[in-house]
């Protein structure tokens, strides 16, 4: 294995700020949140949270101006409910996947705002100033070594007769602050394609140098649950005691690995406190934005860490309400077969959730449609819609 130090470089100013935060008299150790784009992230659960943490101020400003959602609540439920065909990473109803990542929305990493900010360790700002002083970059990973460009080609813009821009991958560790001025770390960007052992060793070096007290990762997994019921969670790691008791879904499962899962495994094996949160996203919405799941993950993080993140929570609540309204509108326009599918999932959920002595939210084998049958139902519904309505590429959920 190569020297892990070769994979990343400290930013001198960002490192100084992080060390100052660690050395502060009232410091109790930093929390590090991390999420990597590129594997399974149903509902863009983790990607949305990273985006909110890096751009909470902008979203709050748009909401206050009456804009509501930066993402836009519009989605075509018939299209989205048809996405759970036998595609990559989408298990059938009743199964679970323990991967991380998924394609994040453009701009999830965001521009580097450190130049426009003052000292990020200041604590005398008002409580509503969360993210008005966005984070400083503490360390940058060598994307040229970690990212396979042919597998995930970065976007380039061609204008008239020349190349105008290049969207360079950014895998960075940032120092952010919550609404009270409490510092925390966020590691985000594309999931490394190669050198996972060196990468996880590098993350461990960073964790130990900065005195991280808890490393938390988060993502969404597709599950056979309805959108009309509370979002469930599967916590994992050696600090699941920080999360309220959750019904167990299974005792063992073999799934494709991910850099985030390996990071948790390596840190935990080295004696560091780790916690992972997997939100249960209705499988028929797995490839749409589902802010309900992201909101539950955020609330779990704040409860487990003590971080105060009201701007991100406010934006996600607005997004979740608008998305639920849009889903119900789409269902109301659907045919009886479409409605029956959703209602069937509700009955399954309620029957199992109400059964005494049950540890799982997955029902016994039933006559509910399979994932492929669900896809066929909603694809038919989409095909039968009026020709004048918007196409699948005309809305943010497509």
pLDDT digits (tens, 9 = 90+) for 126-175: 444 443 445 799 999 999 999 999 988 999 999 999 999 999 999 999 99
Instruction: Work out the pLDDT band at 395, boundaries 50, 70, 90.
Output: very low
pLDDT digits (tens, 9 = 90+) for 202-242: 999 999 999 999 999 999 999 888 898 999 999 999 999 99
Res 296 pLDDT > 60: yes
Output the pLDDT for position 178.
94
Q: HSE-up of 387 (CA within 13 Å, CB side)?
A: 0
How far apart, in whole angstroms, are the C-alpha atoms of residue 304 and residue 77? 34
| CATH classification code of 4-383 | 3.40.50.10900
User: For the residues 86-97, what does the mean pLDDT come to?
Assistant: 38
How far apart, in whole angstroms, are the C-alpha atoms of residue 34 and residue 135? 14
Tokens 């959703």 sit on residue? 342
Output the pLDDT for position 383.
54
pLDDT digits (tens, 9 = 90+) for 358-367: 444 444 444 4
Structure tokens, 56 = 């909470």
Instruction: Work out the pLDDT band at 249, boundaries 50, 70, 90.
Output: low
172: Cβ contacts below 8 Å, ≥ 6 apart:
109, 137, 138, 139, 140, 141, 187, 188, 189
Structure tokens, 99 = 């991967």
Res 270 pLDDT > 60: yes
Rounding to the nearest 10 degrees, give the CA dihedral for residues 219, 223, 225, 227.
Answer: 40
Q: What is the pTM of this model?
A: 0.73
Bridge partners (DSSP) of residue 218 are 277
Residue 286 exposed, middle or buried by CB count within 10 Å (0-12, 13-18, 19+)? buried
Evaluate whether 12 touches 185 at the Cβ level (below 8 Å): no
DSSP β-ladder status, 136-141 and 233-237: unpaired
Listed range (32-36, 105-109, 201-205, 214-218) with the worst mean pLDDT = 105-109
Mean of pLDDT over the chain = 77
Closest CA to 218 of 70, 50, 92, 103: 50
More confident: 359 or 6: 6
Structure tokens, 312 = 């991100």
The residue length of the chain stands at: 398
Listed range (111-115, 164-168, 322-326) with the worst mean pLDDT = 111-115
Structure tokens, 180 = 């009270």
Res 294 pLDDT > 90: yes
Output the pLDDT for position 143.
95
Res 65 pLDDT > 90: no
How far apart, in whole angstroms, are the C-alpha atoms of residue 290 and residue 42? 8
Closest CA to 91 of 336, 260, 255, 310: 255
How far apart, in whole angstroms, are the C-alpha atoms of residue 380 and residue 375? 9
């Amino acid at each position: 294995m190569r020297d892990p130090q070769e994979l990343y470089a400290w930013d001198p100013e960002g490192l100084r700020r992080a060390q100052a935060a660690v050395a502060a008299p009232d410091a109790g150790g930093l929390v590090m949140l991390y999420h990597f784009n590129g594997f399974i992230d149903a509902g863009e659960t983790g990607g949305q949270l990273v985006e909110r943490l890096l751009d909470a101020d902008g979203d709050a400003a748009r909401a206050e101006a009456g804009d509501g959602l930066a993402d836009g609540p519009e989605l075509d439920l018939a299209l989205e409910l048809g996405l759970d065909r036998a595609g990559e990473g989408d298990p059938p109803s009743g199964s679970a996947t323990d991967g991380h990542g998924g394609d994040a929305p453009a701009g999830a990493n965001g521009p580097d705002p450190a130049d426009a900010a003052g000292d990020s360790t200041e604590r005398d700002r008002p409580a509503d100033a969360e993210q008005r002083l966005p984070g400083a970059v503490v360390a940058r990973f060598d994307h040229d070594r970690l990212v396979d460009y042919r597998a995930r080609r970065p976007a380039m813009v061609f204008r008239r007769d020349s190349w105008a821009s290049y969207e360079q991958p950014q895998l960075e560790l940032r120092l952010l602050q919550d609404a009270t001025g409490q510092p925390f770390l966020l590691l985000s960007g594309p999931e490394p394609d190669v050198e996972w052992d060196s990468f996880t060793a590098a993350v461990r070096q960073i964790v130990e140098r900065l005195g991280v007290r808890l490393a938390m990762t988060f993502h969404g997994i597709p599950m056979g649950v309805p959108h009309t019921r509370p979002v469930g969670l599967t916590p994992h790691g050696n600090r699941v005691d920080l999360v309220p008791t959750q019904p167990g879904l299974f005792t063992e499962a073999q799934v494709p690995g991910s850099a985030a899962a390996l990071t948790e495994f390596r840190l935990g094996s080295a004696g560091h406190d780790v916690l992972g949160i997997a939100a249960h996203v209705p499988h028929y919405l797995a490839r749409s934005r589902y802010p309900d799941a992201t909101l539950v993950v955020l609330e779990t993080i704040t409860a487990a860490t003590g971080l105060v993140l009201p701007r991100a929570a406010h934006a996600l609540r607005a997004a979740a309400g608008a998305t639920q309204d849009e889903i119900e509108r789409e269902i109301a326009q659907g045919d009886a077969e479409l409605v029956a599918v959703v209602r069937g999932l509700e009955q399954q959920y309620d029957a199992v959730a109400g059964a005494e002595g049950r540890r799982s939210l997955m029902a016994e084998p039933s006559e509910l449609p399979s994932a492929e049958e669900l896809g066929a139902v909603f694809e038919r519904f989409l095909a039968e819609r009026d020709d004048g309505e918007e196409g699948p590429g005309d809305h943010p959920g497509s």
